[in-house]
Structure 1
Amino acid sequence: MDLIFCIGVFLVSIKDIHCIDGRQAELSRFNFFDIDLLKYAAEDREGNVMVSPASIKSTLAMLLEGAGGITETELRSALRLSPFKDEFREQLNTYLSLLQVNTPGVKISNANGVFVSKKLKLHKHFVSTLSKLYFADIQEIDFSNPFNASDIINRWVGQNTKGLITDIIQPAQLSPKSEMIIANALYFKGLWARGFNPRYTRSGCFHRQGSCLNVAMMELHSELNYAYVDNLRAHALELQYQGGEYSMILLVPLDFEGCAQLVRDLPYMSLPQISILLEPTDIRLIMPKFTVEFNDNVAGPLRNMRVVSLFTKNANLSGMYEGGAPQVDSIIHRVHMTVDEQGTVAAAASSAMVIPLIGAEVQLRVDRPFVFFIRNNKLGQVLFEGKIDEPNIVEDVVPTQSKTKPSNERRYSNKFF
């Protein structure tokens, strides 16, 4: 049985934030995939979880071009694409073209790569479609030498993630029977419109499973778009990147142990619905800084999203090359994320406590597991998403203790009455 490996690489680096200008994202069925992916990747799973729907969509789109029968149907259904190839190709081509941004405040680059055995004869139409519509770089490699093959793939990934991810695949994961690797590398760097002042960063408790993790907490005082979402029992906050086209949305559960329930509830309330509720509010935001590496095979979540035949001997990928009966062995997804005073790779709030302060200011304290999204505000296109369970622990600093005991009680300043 021929094996095809798919690699999705996600990497982000951000620096400087602000609030939204009131534009509401278009609700698109194509974006329903994003919430499904987060739910099945993070549900009932401990620790940090980060995925890039944009990166995985890029990989699945290339597979879709070579798929037929039930495999094609399952991929189209999961991605919510039109049954007509001309229509979904136009949709995917437009989507991928938006993943090339080079402005002073935001830089995004998306690269697709196909690494194919020299023994295979790819269909000309498949090669042409991947090159023209998906901007894919197609290279022939010798899988009989797994060390050399993995080195070629890792160097390609490293170049397209600015050196932040350099070892997505190991020689042991390849074999002479491997026929093709389909890869995607997505890089994002965004500057906060309003950065956190490092002078205000201090150690504090991040509450997880009844324990206190000593982490570095950043602080920002600004007018930000905020709402308490009753249906999710969570606080929502939007932090904007320079230029206003991209934002980070933080969802912080009211309850200390409420993140798992929040993830389960997200499919019933879309990000555009949450955005409508947000209103400009004077906020004192306290949130952790962190750096996280996440590496996973997302075949499991995709199976739960009813993409099943792709990973079996019944996979129909006949449109890729002549002869053989290929199936996908795994979809390897790796994420690098950094969040600090200057910016972030993707991350924000999740442990929210709202307490009354002097005046109309609201304090949002992110001191428990939380969910984040980084998205294009106009189209609702989600680049990165995940939940943060374990920010970086600060070993050599004693956490500052609050004068008031943390509470799950929902409190508002007078502004909300």
Structure 2
Amino acid sequence: MDDESRPSKKPRGGAGSGLTAFALRMAKQLHGTKKKNLAKKKNLVFSPLSLYVALALVVSGARRDTLDELLALLGAASREELDEFARGVAERALADQSAAGGPRVAFACGLWHEKTLALKPAYRDAAVDAYKAETRAADFVFKVSYYARSTTKEAREEINRWVSKATSDLITSILPERSVHPLTGMVLANAIYFKGSWSLPFDKELTVTRRFRRLDGSRVRVPFMSSGRSTKQAVAQYKGFKVLKLAYAPYRIPTWDESPYQMRWDEREKKHVLSHVSSESSGGARFSMCVFLPDARAGLPGLVDRMAAAGPSFLWDHLPKDRVEVGEVRLPRFKLSSSSKLKPVLQAMGVEAAFDADRAHLSGMLVAGWLVLEQVFHKAVVEVNEEGTEAASSGACTIMLISDRLGPTPDFVADHPFAFFVVEEVSGTVVFMGHVLDPSEHAE
């Protein structure tokens, strides 16, 4: 079996499984809350991992029903479980591989607090240890004179510059005007940057302009990348949809000790059988892009609902396990960007107490002060072309200070709307995902 298409190690519950379930539920919610945008043929891209980590850092300081709601949203049993998950993501799944010729991956986490309010030591330690966060004091209090600019504006611009640098300028800002004000007590932000080349690049000479059919039946002409005819690709065919997995280089051949399969004695069958070994033995991070293409031209909404209803196993159970002969693979080049304010989306997903000044319990963050989650911002950018993928995302939580009290050879022709995921298979981490409804549309 090729290393490129070997089965991934699926997450076995906990925060890793919670991330996948969160990703699918969030996609359904964004899909549902943007029906007007769908009618206008708007695309969707976001980073489940970026949002998950941003909210997990809020969990570290949450208490009572605020904590319970956030843990339920993230599918985790405890703060400690989320901290351990974040530690593993930062140290393993998002470790940079560019020195060895693999994907360039960068992850950064930052925490800014009003300089007159001290962080609780336990919260600061968790942020630094598990989330590798930079902690900084900021001047959110509004001070302006004839000669001086607002320090509130300066603090916001400092955070935006940090995000821009962390994402190689793909995302130049995360906090819009008036998102930071004199009552801001804290801002939590993270940034992810990914640039990977395909293990098997597409030949630019085979790229041709063809028609892509939108959900409403209208058509647009866009450049389609092609693998050529009669090639072997990691494609799987299921009832109602197909899946294509494109590996990012390098996919080195594992040693026997690193193989995801090893021989073991099965006492019940009284014979040796091949079985999965643990993810710790699987030889490091393996990135790929997985494209879920519904058979029906307008089948993406139904597939999104099906994914969300089935839970995290749906994604991992349907990844191709082998490379097979295919007639043709055609995938449009696309560049997507998206910007969102997610407070209403998260409230619809069951997070209410954190946004309610009378019910919020974020008392684990600051030594003094009563805090409430004010807004959650998210931006993501992804570009897919013949060489590979470049993507970036940023998530930010602004926290307000309320007071100072406590089959046959198939084709894979993606000429109609589809969903895509950029995943790290060993840890079961969904780094980016989105829906391509119109690859000719670049603007937010």
The answer to whether the Cα contact below 8 Å between 2:248 and 2:388 also exists between their aligned partners in 1 is no
| C-alpha distance after superposition, 1:277-329 (max 9, x if no partner) | 76633351111111121000122332232122111111110011133321111
Q: Work out whether 1:366 is the aligned partner of 2:414.
A: yes
Q: Which residue of 2 aligns with 1:132?
A: 129
The answer to whether the Cα contact below 8 Å between 2:44 and 2:337 also exists between their aligned partners in 1 is no
CA 1:87–1:174: 2 relative to 1, 3 Å: closer
- Counterpart residue type for residue 306 of structure 2: D
Q: Structure 2 matches for 1:24-173, cutoff 5 A?
A: 24-28=9-13, 29-30=17-18, 31-43=20-32, 45=34, 46=38, 47-83=42-78, 85-97=79-91, 98-103=93-98, 104-143=101-140, 144=142, 145=150, 146-173=152-179
The answer to whether the Cα contact below 8 Å between 2:326 and 2:410 also exists between their aligned partners in 1 is yes
State the alpha-carbon separation in 2 of the partners of residues 286 and 251 from structure 1: 13
Moved more, 299-308 or 73-82: 299-308
State the alpha-carbon separation in 1 of the partners of residues 388 and 208 from structure 2: 17
State the alpha-carbon separation in 1 of the partners of residues 205 and 323 from structure 2: 28
| C-alpha distance after superposition, 1:212-255 (max 9, x if no partner) | 1111111113311212221xx21111111113411111011111
Return 5+ residue gaps in structure 1 as ranges: 1-17, 347-355, 395-417
Given the two structures, how large is their TM-score scaled by the length of structure 1?
Answer: 0.82
Q: Work out whether 1:246 is the aligned partner of 2:241.
A: no
CA RMSD in angstroms comes to 2.3
The answer to whether the Cα contact below 8 Å between 1:259 and 1:371 also exists between their aligned partners in 2 is yes
CA 1:312–1:27: 2 relative to 1, 3 Å: same
- Counterpart residue type for residue 183 of structure 1: A
CA 1:71–1:182: 2 relative to 1, 3 Å: same
What's the offset of the Cα at 1:35? 1.5
The answer to whether the Cα contact below 8 Å between 2:61 and 2:365 also exists between their aligned partners in 1 is yes
The answer to whether the Cα contact below 8 Å between 2:29 and 2:345 also exists between their aligned partners in 1 is yes
3-state SS of 1:108 partner:
strand
Given the two structures, how large is their TM-score scaled by the length of structure 2?
Answer: 0.77
| C-alpha distance after superposition, 1:72-102 (max 9, x if no partner) | 111112222223x444432332233222222
The answer to whether the Cα contact below 8 Å between 1:196 and 1:341 also exists between their aligned partners in 2 is yes
Q: Which residue of 2 aligns with 1:228?
A: 237
State the alpha-carbon separation in 1 of the partners of residues 77 and 164 from structure 2: 34
CA 1:25–1:277: 2 relative to 1, 3 Å: same
Q: Which residue of 1 aligns with 2:198?
A: 192
- Counterpart residue type for residue 11 of structure 2: E
- Counterpart residue type for residue 302 of structure 1: L
Q: Structure 2 matches for 1:384-399, cutoff 5 A?
A: 384-392=432-440
The answer to whether the Cα contact below 8 Å between 1:165 and 1:336 also exists between their aligned partners in 2 is yes
State the alpha-carbon separation in 2 of the partners of residues 129 and 277 from structure 1: 38
Q: Work out whether 1:333 is the aligned partner of 2:378.
A: yes
What's the offset of the Cα at 1:130? 0.8
CA 1:283–1:107: 2 relative to 1, 3 Å: farther
What's the offset of the Cα at 1:374? 0.8
The answer to whether the Cα contact below 8 Å between 2:56 and 2:82 also exists between their aligned partners in 1 is no
The answer to whether the Cα contact below 8 Å between 2:243 and 2:320 also exists between their aligned partners in 1 is no
| Residue correspondences, number | 363
Q: Structure 2 matches for 1:265-284, cutoff 5 A?
A: 265-269=306-310, 270-275=314-319, 280-284=324-328
CA 1:316–1:278: 2 relative to 1, 3 Å: farther
Q: Work out whether 1:307 is the aligned partner of 2:351.
A: yes
3-state SS of 2:170 partner:
coil
The answer to whether the Cα contact below 8 Å between 1:237 and 1:278 also exists between their aligned partners in 2 is no
CA 1:276–1:338: 2 relative to 1, 3 Å: closer
State the alpha-carbon separation in 1 of the partners of residues 388 and 66 from structure 2: 40
CA 1:381–1:203: 2 relative to 1, 3 Å: same
CA 1:147–1:386: 2 relative to 1, 3 Å: same
What's the offset of the Cα at 1:24? 4.3
The answer to whether the Cα contact below 8 Å between 1:310 and 1:316 also exists between their aligned partners in 2 is yes
State the alpha-carbon separation in 2 of the partners of residues 170 and 276 from structure 1: 41
State the alpha-carbon separation in 1 of the partners of residues 115 and 371 from structure 2: 15
The answer to whether the Cα contact below 8 Å between 2:212 and 2:415 also exists between their aligned partners in 1 is yes
State the alpha-carbon separation in 1 of the partners of residues 7 and 29 from structure 2: 30
What's the offset of the Cα at 1:194? 1.0
State the alpha-carbon separation in 1 of the partners of residues 184 and 201 from structure 2: 46
| C-alpha distance after superposition, 1:317-348 (max 9, x if no partner) | 001113332111111100011111111246xx
